[in-house]
Amino acid sequence: MECKLRTRSVKIAQVLGNVLMRCWAVTCLASMLCLILYWVYGCLWAIMLLIFVTTGVLYYSEDFLLFHPDMPAHSRVFVPVPSMFGLPYENLYVRSADGTRLHLYFIRQPGPVSARAPTVLFLHGNAGNMGHRLQNVLGLYQQLQCNVLMLEYRGYGLSQGSPSEHGLYADARAALDYLSSRSDINHAEVVVFGRSLGGAVAIDVAAQPEYAQKIWCLVVENTFTSIPDMARVLIGWRLLQYLPRFLYKNKFLSAEKVGRVTAPTLFVSGLADILVPPRMMSELHGLCRAHRQLLQLETGTHNDTWTCPGYYHALANFLRDARARRGAAPAPPPPSPSTRIEHV
């Protein structure tokens, strides 16, 4: 336990250090302004300005605390390709609703199998790029016999823009629109998979009525109830319990949205996760009103639960159960969204 706490403290210190280094210019300028006002107008105005500036700097630095597209180094310029793992793929670019250009990989089963197989929309976590998840995707491709669409959020890898909560939601919707535009997949079996931050994105898109009809099943792994809850866990300051929600730039309120999910949902929880407390996955499972299952893997860590024995077998059983519950319902006709697609 002591080792785990020390590791968590080191990670928090590293993140805070990165934020301070990025914000040092703004912080120094604000400090000088406070000193000038203190000298001219007195203590009260200087303290008020200091509080205002401090909360403003913290508010806009939250993106640096949450999103890490440049970790590890060169993640914005080098994205491993599926062919490195022997996977056939299409390299794609689509436009999100606001015109942001997004990078995707579409990995499909060979020949006519792809038209019958389920298709997984893979939503990755808050660091690196989608290429860093290819080994996990290889397991999904082989063990579940599925197609996989990998999305690279805005500001990650080769996608344009900068990451934000609502931007990531829009990107996931654009990826689902892209799948709806294809005529060579089984639209009745689209699975949305999200790990960590991707789980929060997956819950949001599955909770939207206009997109719920496009989703057959939802799988979330080692995700959290909300960012305010995670801030209290990671930083541990009691003061954060009284911090108003509007001061959080990114909220990802999954606990409030999961009750609106209608698709069968599998919650995959690594009980050795020292970043996101496993109790949060149990809480999300309890709040979900759809048909759901909770898979707890004793040795699963935050990023490596997919390496646990029985992981893929459990996912396959969940999809098999969802298929049996649905029965032989005919596949709905695919809608025709105006998604702009660029093949590379």
Per-position DSSP letters for 273-295, written without gaps between them: -SSS-HHHHHHHHHH--SSEEEE
pLDDT, one tens digit per residue, over 35-59 is 665 555 556 655 665 555 555 555 5
Residue 37 pLDDT: 58
Residue 247 pLDDT: 73
Ranges assigned E (strand) in 290-332: 292-297
Token pair, residue 56, equals 């403003």
Residue 107 pLDDT: 98
Q: Which residues contact 11 (CB under 8 A, 6 or more apart)?
A: none
Pair 130, 151: CB distance under 8 Å: yes
Closest CA to 322 of 265, 270, 253, 267: 265
Residue 344 pLDDT: 41
Residue 333 pLDDT: 42
Closest CA to 156 of 126, 196, 188: 126
- Name residues of the chain where pLDDT drops below 50: 1-5, 328-344
According to CATH, the superfamily of the domain at 82-343 is Alpha/Beta hydrolase fold, catalytic domain (3.40.50.1820)
Domain parsing of the chain, residue ranges: 2-66, 82-343
For the annotated catalytic residues, the residue numbers are 196, 273, 302
Residue 292 pLDDT: 96
Q: How many whole angstroms separate alpha carbon 200 and alpha carbon 257?
A: 9
Residue 178 pLDDT: 97
Supply the pTM of this predicted model.
0.80
